[in-house]
Amino acid sequence: MAFEGLADRLQNTIQKIKGKGKVTEQDVKEMTREVRLALLEADVNFKVVKDFVKNVKERAVGQEVMESLTPGQQVIKIVKDELSQLMGGEESKIAVADRPPTVIMMVGLQGAGKTTTTGKLANLLRKKYNRKPLLVAADIYRPAAIDQLETLGKQLNMPVYSQGTDISPVEIAKQGLEKAKEEHLDYVLIDTAGRLHIDGELMDELVQIKEAVNPDEIFLVVDAMTGQDAVNVAESFNDQLDVSGVVLTKLDGDTRGGAALSIKAVTNKPIKFAGMGEKLDQLEVFHPERMASRILG
Ligand code: GDP
């Protein structure tokens, strides 16, 4: 489960301070030292950790007195608030275009879970928001990707637009959009190509697709298990494409949680969804506050 180690360590740390009727500066210092170590061990970006600890310390030392909480509980509340802020604070909403269809471009490196997430997101849009999505297969370099999307479409009983591999991804994306308009579908999810590494050619193509279809959202799919690499990948994609949000996959297998805790601070883009397993219904709207509560118990 995600954040296992971090949750254990932080819960241990806050347990010590919980019952205190008086919290001294020394107590805060000791606690923040442990919080710092716990976050670093969870593979959180070091600069993010530094800022986090500074914020907690400042607030905890000069803390506003709330009568309903003991001083110890107040310090814990501060840590929880800051942890939630770190992951974006509020749950972020998914865009809805003024005139349908809403266009979502899915981008990311190969293996991150982009195609699977495209199917999961379509499923969620239908189930939770009662929307009708079209899946567009624009990853022409990995032929299996088209088959994979078509299989997902069959499983979900949802339309898939594909044109094989002899046509440019930009054309496929444009045609897919037209098709959705004709059929009065309200979301278009474009599954773009990924590579093993970020390269100029890949980025150029994604920029071209972006210009051609003017997406309402660009979701970057990153693998939480890759930790700080996921954060670096997010930074590069965001520099080139100005993505609108991140989908963190494989959070079910990521016991450390470093990517989840660093991405918002580093890229200033919110985590919108989290993949919690391979199945099509295992995509969750990402709730920073709930996640912080889960970590702190
Ligand atoms: P793509 O190359 O980015 O399109 O990646 P795929 O969608 O083909 O996914 C790569 C692998 O990751 C597949 O085996 C997926 O089942 C798996 N996967 C995707 N999302 C998740 C997730 O949230 N949790 C787990 N455990 N596996 C996932």
ipTM value: 0.99
Cα 19 to averaged position of ligand 1 atoms, centre (Å) = 43
Which H helix or E strand runs over 118?
helix 114-129
Query: What number of other Cβ atoms are within 10 A of residue 154's Cβ?
Result: 10
Per-residue pLDDT, averaged over 57-83, amounts to 82
Q: From ligand 1's centre to the CA of 179, what distance in Å?
A: 27
Q: pLDDT tens, 18-50?
A: 878 788 888 889 999 999 999 999 999 999 999
Inform me whether the pLDDT recorded for 217 exceeds 60: yes
E strand intervals along the chain? 102-108, 133-138, 160-161, 187-192, 217-223, 245-249, 271-275, 283-285
pLDDT digits (tens, 9 = 90+) for 158-181: 999 999 999 999 999 999 999 999
Compute the distance between CA of residue 290 and CA of residue 89 in angstroms, rounded to an integer: 10
Q: What is the pLDDT of residue 292?
A: 93
194 Cβ below 6 A of ligand 1: yes
pLDDT confidence tier of residue 1, bands split at 50, 70 and 90: low
Helix (H) or strand (E) holding 79: helix 71-86
Ligand 1 atom closest to 221 (CA): 3
pLDDT band (50, 70, 90) for residue 121: very high
Is any ligand 1 atom within 6 A of the Cβ of residue 113? yes
pLDDT digits (tens, 9 = 90+) for 220-273: 999 999 999 999 999 999 999 999 999 999 999 887 889 999 999 999 999 999
Q: Is the pLDDT of residue 67 over 80?
A: no
- Ligand 1 neighbourhood includes 159 CB (under 6 angstroms): no
Ligand 1 centre from 53 Cα, in Å? 34
Cα distances (angstroms) measured from residue 284 to each of 41, 87, 150, 184:
26, 15, 23, 27
